[in-house]
């Protein structure tokens, strides 16, 4: 059975995508880039001796020495920029729930497909509030480089974001977005970009 959808939610998603697309067409003329480097924590960047009079540095919360440099993965945060310099966000890939079930008996993936839900945390780090539709901003890629966008489905993985998600500067929101992918697809990467994915920068995390 196909996914049961809500007309109101569909309309919000489409409207959000259309408005941001128009804005991006007018503003984004500087090309695009993909960021795979995790944001360093404040502790990791604290100079030696700054923790107190004893000269001992605060313990760093950096990745283990054998972690690949510049390869964001589950749990990592990537600092992203929007089309407006005042529009920035720290986005964290929090959780991946593969082959998750629909929230109710009417919500199922199509034949030959499965649901994959990914939880992101979005913190508005700039001077402007984050106001967007996160489901329009995310996609996953398989090992062959094929990309899959989100689907409108609530699952048992957990609650999604409000539509639109309005996050005040300095605050954050947590939510799932869901993808409908082939049953045999081996997902390799997840991506997220501001301005419904039309910003000049996209964050990318390695899955698995």
Pairwise CA distance, residues 199 & 24, whole Å: 7
For the stretch 133-157, pLDDT in tens is 999 999 999 999 999 999 999 999 9
Whether pLDDT at 191 is above 60: yes
Domains and CATH numbers, the chain: 7-28+76-199 (2.60.40.1240)
Residue with the bigger pLDDT between 18 and 206: it is 206
The length of the chain, given as a count of residues: 208
Q: Tokens for 163, please give them.
A: 């539509």
The number of beta carbons lying within 10 Å of the beta carbon of residue 134 is 27
CA-nearest of 199, 208, 194, 200 to 91 is 194
pLDDT of residue 70: 64
Pairwise CA distance, residues 200 & 46, whole Å: 30
Average pLDDT over residues 81-97: 97
For the stretch 40-80, pLDDT in tens is 743 344 444 444 333 343 333 334 444 456 689 999 999 99
Average pLDDT over residues 15-35: 51
For the stretch 117-135, pLDDT in tens is 999 999 999 999 999 999 9
């Amino acid at each position: 059975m196909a996914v049961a959808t809500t007309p109101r939610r569909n309309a919000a998603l489409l409207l959000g995508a259309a408005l941001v697309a128009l804005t991006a067409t007018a503003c984004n003329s500087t090309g695009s880039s993909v960021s795979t480097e995790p944001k360093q924590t404040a502790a990791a960047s604290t100079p030696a001796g700054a923790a107190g009079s004893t000269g001992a540095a605060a313990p760093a919360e950096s990745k283990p020495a054998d972690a690949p440099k510049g390869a964001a993965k589950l749990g990592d945060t990537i600092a992203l920029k929007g089309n407006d310099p005042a529009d920035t966000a720290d986005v964290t890939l929090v959780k991946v729930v593969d082959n998750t079930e629909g929230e109710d008996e009417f919500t199922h993936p199509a034949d030959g497909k499965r649901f994959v839900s990914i939880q992101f945390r979005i913190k508005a780090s700039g001077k402007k509030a984050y106001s967007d539709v996160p489901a329009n901003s995310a996609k996953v890629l398989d090992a062959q480089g094929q990309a899959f966008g989100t689907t409108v489905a609530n699952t048992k993985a957990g609650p999604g974001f409000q539509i639109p998600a309005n996050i005040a500067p300095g605050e954050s929101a947590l939510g799932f977005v869901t993808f409908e992918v082939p049953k045999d697809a081996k997902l390799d990467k997840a991506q997220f970009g501001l301005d419904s994915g039309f910003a000049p920068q996209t964050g990318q995390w390695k899955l698995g």
